[in-house]
Each structure stands twice: as C-alpha cells, then as structure tokens.
C-alpha cells in the first residue's frame, strides 16, 4: 500500500504525543500543560484580533511580536525567530544547521522528537548516555560532531544543567551549532539567553506552551546570533511564509506583556511540585530533582506500568515510556494542588493494593 509514498515517508516512525482525550473529566497530568489558565491579557488580545482583518495574511516576519520579545528578553529583533510552536522551531533548526554527513549528538534519554527530526531529514545521530543519576555528561559533547541538541532542563527527567555546563559545550564546539531546548526553563533552570551575544553557535529555543499556559496557541521562539536567525528564516521561507496566524501573534504579545502573571503561576507550580515530590518520597518513590513542571518518579516495589494503568482507571493520565532505563518511571505533570492531592491519594491506594 505504500508504493505511492516517498522513500523517506516509508521509513519514518513518527513522534507520538501524549493522549489528548476528548472527554474532559480526566485529570490530565500527561502532556506538561499548565494547570492555570493563560493570562487574561492574552485572551483579551485574541478576542480583539478576531475581527475582519482575518481576511488578510498575517505579517510573515512577525515584526510586532519579535519587538515585544526583544524588549522582554533584552535582545535585538534580528536575534529572534518565531515559529508555530517550539516543535516547528526545532524541526527548522535541524534543517538549517545540520548536514547528513556530520553526526549530531543528543542525550539518549531526552525529548523523543529529536530522533524523529533526524530521521525525517536524513541526519546521522549519536545518543549520549545520561550518567547513572540521569545527569547529562559534558565530555562526550565535546567530541567531534556536526551539531548538539540539549534540552535544559532535560525531559522527561526534569534535571537541569548549569550555565557553566552549557558554556563548556558551546566553547568546545565552535564549528557546530548547539541548540538548547528550554521548553521548561521558567520552572527553575537558568536560561542561556544571556549567552546569545557571546556565542555565535548558540540557539536557545523556548515556547509559550508551558510556563505561559498557551499550548493551545502554538507559539515557539529561537534566540541566536543574527547569522543563525537568517538561516532559520531562509529555511522557513522555503517551507511556509506564514507560519503564525493573526490570533497566535496577538495572543503571544498579550501573554509576553503579562510578566507578573508568568512569575506568579510559575511560582505556584514550583511550590506544588516541591511539596508533591516530598509526598511521593514519603510513599517510597525515588524522585529526580526537577527544575521543570513535572516529576520523574519510580517506585522500587510497584512497576510504573502497573501504576500508569491503575491511575488511568481512576481517571488520572500520566506519561510512561516503554524504553530502556526509564520503563519503571512515570512522568507526572504538576497540576493544581487539588489535582496533586487526587494523584497522591490514588497512588497511595494503588501501592497498598500491589
């Protein structure tokens, strides 16, 4: 049946995102969404933009949004790229900076879309094993390579690298582009944005999906030297001129302007995360130190898959991967305090039954 498919399409194993159930009674702790609503300023900006100007194309250069980003992060607009979610931004990075002949490096346990992008664009890659504590080792990323991708904090572990670690990788790779995927950075890691002016090989990728509670809007960014931003624009403009619709542009600006709301909700989530980690540990779980809006936890006596299925039966979704080294771990998104109460209660019951 695949005769009419391209060779590349025949060989793909697509990324599988966490379930997006149609019914809404479930407690959804499986895709790292924010439990709090987006900023009211974002919603107001979207409603205002839902007008007759939707008949017109959006600004393909996203100038107004890039101006707000420049102001927010202390960069110039030519150091900023905007895409349809950070997944699209990452995909364009793989096309813009990596070549089929040169092996790229990323951790073995990390965001599972990286291998998928590499396959889609025919790139060779080497997966660097995390150490026994799930930390990203630095030395292997200084070996010869055609590019580096590091999620910081890493997913699904939640562990953060220090800024000096990122700097070591940047300095060891002057001829390769180093992409730092900071989807979760607002929950406790230190951003590498402050290094953009100093390292012409650095690309920092962020998103509005997590800390700004706008997963439903699809907005991601890259921050880098203008030379790398130009490469991203070249690829993007060979693919799709208008990747962000007018509503996403307006909503993103609104969200970025509400810095107080970002800080308040991120602080609440971090507080809930830390108290939930304590409760899980009290139940016997091993919990990795998280700088993200999720916890990665394993129980010595009860299989993660058993807990996954038991939670699902109780109407609670969490994420689990059938992969080496992490198949006894659950990734649990931080919800509201009430949702985490329900989770802890359900886990306590399941542990008792097992």
Of 35 and 310, the one with the shorter C-beta distance to a second copy is 35
CA-wise closest residue to 104 among 152, 150, 148: 148
CA distance 351 to 176: 47
Least distance from a second copy to the Cβ atom of residue 36, Å:
7
Which of 124, 129, 154, 153 is CA-nearest to residue 141? Answer: 129
**Binding residue (CB under 8 A) for a second copy from 138, 163, 235, 344:** 235
Q: How distant is the alpha carbon of residue 169 from its chain centre?
A: 20
Nearer to a second copy by Cβ, of 55 and 301: the residue is 55
Ramachandran bin of 130, using left for φ above 0, alpha for ψ from -120 to 50, beta for the remaining angles? beta
Least spacing, CB of residue 133 vs a second copy, in Å: 30
Question: How many Cα atoms within 13 Å fall on the side-chain side of residue 278?
Answer: 5
Q: In terms of Cα–Cα distance, which of 71, 69, 72, 73 is closest to 81?
A: 69
Least distance to a second copy, CB of residue 231, Å: 4
- The single residue among 76, 144, 162, 237 that binds a second copy, judged by CB under 8 A, is 237
Which residues have a Cβ under 8 Å from the Cβ of 54 and sit 6 or more positions away? 246, 247
Tokens of 312: 């699902």
Note whether 5 binds a second copy by CB under 8 A. Answer: yes
Q: Is 15 in the site for a second copy (CB under 8 A)?
A: yes
Angle formed at CA 34 by CA 33 and CA 37, multiple of 5 degrees: 125
Parallel, antiparallel, or unpaired: how do β-strands 329-333 and 294-298 relate? Answer: antiparallel
Please state whether beta strands 286-287 and 294-298 pair in parallel, antiparallel, or not at all (unpaired).
Answer: antiparallel
Q: CB 175 → a second copy: shortest distance, Å?
A: 7
d(CA 121, CA 137): 26
- Residue closer to a second copy (CB basis): 119 or 274: 119
Instruction: Report, in Å, the least distance between residue 202 CB and a second copy.
Output: 10
Which of 130, 155, 204, 244 forms a contact with a second copy (CB under 8 A)?
Answer: 244
CB of 128 vs a second copy, minimal distance in Å = 21
Phi, psi of 13 (to 5 degrees): -120, 95
**67 near a second copy (CB under 8 A):** no
Which residue of 76, 144, 238, 286 would you call a contact of a second copy, by CB under 8 A? 238
Find the binder of a second copy among 79, 80, 88, 229 (CB under 8 A): 88
Binding to a second copy in span 188-217, by CB under 8 A: 200-201, 209, 213-217
Exactly one of 108, 119, 274, 289 binds a second copy (CB under 8 A); that residue is: 119
Q: How far is the CB of 194 from a second copy (least distance, A)?
A: 20
Q: Which of 99, 194, 278, 309 binds a second copy (CB under 8 A)?
A: 99
Q: Fill in the per-residue mask, 21 to 60: x = in contact with a second copy (CB under 8 A), - = not in contact.
A: -x-----x--x-xxxxxx---xx--xx--xxxxxxxxxxx
Considering only residues 96, 169, 193, 270, which one is a binding residue for a second copy as defined by CB under 8 A? 96
Q: Are 268 and 35 in contact (CB under 8 A)?
A: no
Alpha-helical regions (H) of 50-189: 63-73, 85-97, 113-120, 163-171
Residue 207 and residue 105: Cα distance in Å, rounded? 22
Question: Smallest distance from the beta carbon of 137 to a second copy, in angstroms?
Answer: 24
Q: Tell whether residue 17 is a contact of a second copy (CB under 8 A).
A: yes
Q: Does 84 bind a second copy (CB under 8 A)?
A: yes
Distance of CA 137 to the CA centre of its chain: 20
Q: Does the protein bind a second copy through residue 7 (CB under 8 A)?
A: yes
**Selected binder of a second copy within 9, 267, 282, 348 (CB under 8 A):** 9
């Amino acid at each position: 049946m695949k005769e009419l498919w391209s060779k590349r399409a025949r060989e793909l194993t697509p990324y599988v995102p966490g379930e997006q159930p149609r019914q809404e009674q479930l407690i959804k702790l499986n895709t790292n969404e924010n439990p709090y609503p987006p900023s009211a300023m974002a919603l107001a900006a979207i409603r205002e933009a839902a007008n007759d100007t939707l008949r017109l194309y959006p600004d393909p250069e996203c100038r107004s949004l890039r101006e707000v980003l420049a102001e927010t992060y202390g960069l110039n607009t030519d150091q900023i790229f905007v895409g349809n979610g950070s997944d699209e931004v990452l995909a364009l990075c793989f096309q813009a900076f990596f070549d089929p002949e040169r092996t790229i490096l990323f951790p073995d346990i990390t965001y599972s879309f990286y291998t998928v992008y590499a396959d889609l664009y025919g790139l060779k890659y080497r997966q660097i094993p995390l150490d026994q504590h799930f930390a990203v080792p630095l030395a292997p990323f200084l070996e010869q390579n055609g590019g580096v991708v590091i999620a910081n904090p890493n997913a699904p572990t939640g562990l953060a690298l220090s800024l000096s670690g990122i700097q070591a990788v940047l300095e060891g790779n002057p001829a390769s582009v180093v992409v730092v995927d900071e989807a979760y950075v607002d929950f406790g890691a230190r951003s590498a944005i402050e290094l953009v002016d100093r390292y012409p090989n650095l690309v920092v990728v962020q998103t509005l999906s997590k800390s700004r509670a706008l997963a439903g809007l699809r907005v991601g960014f890259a921050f880098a030297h203008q030379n790398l931003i130009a490469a991203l624009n070249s690829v993007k403009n060979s693919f799709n001129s208008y990747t962000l619709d007018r509503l996403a542009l307006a909503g993103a600006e609104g969200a970025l302007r509400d810095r107080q709301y970002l800080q308040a909700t991120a602080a609440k989530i971090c507080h809930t995360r830390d108290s939930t980690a304590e409760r899980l540990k009290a139940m016997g779980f091993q919990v990795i130190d998280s700088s993200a809006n999720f916890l990665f936890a394993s129980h010595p006596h009860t299989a993660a898959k058993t807990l996954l299925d038991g939670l699902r039966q109780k109407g609670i979704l969490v994420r689990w991967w059938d992969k080496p080294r992490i198949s006894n771990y659950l990734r649990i998104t931080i919800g509201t305090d009430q949702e985490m109460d329900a989770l802890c209660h359900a886990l306590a019951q399941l542990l008792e039954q097992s």
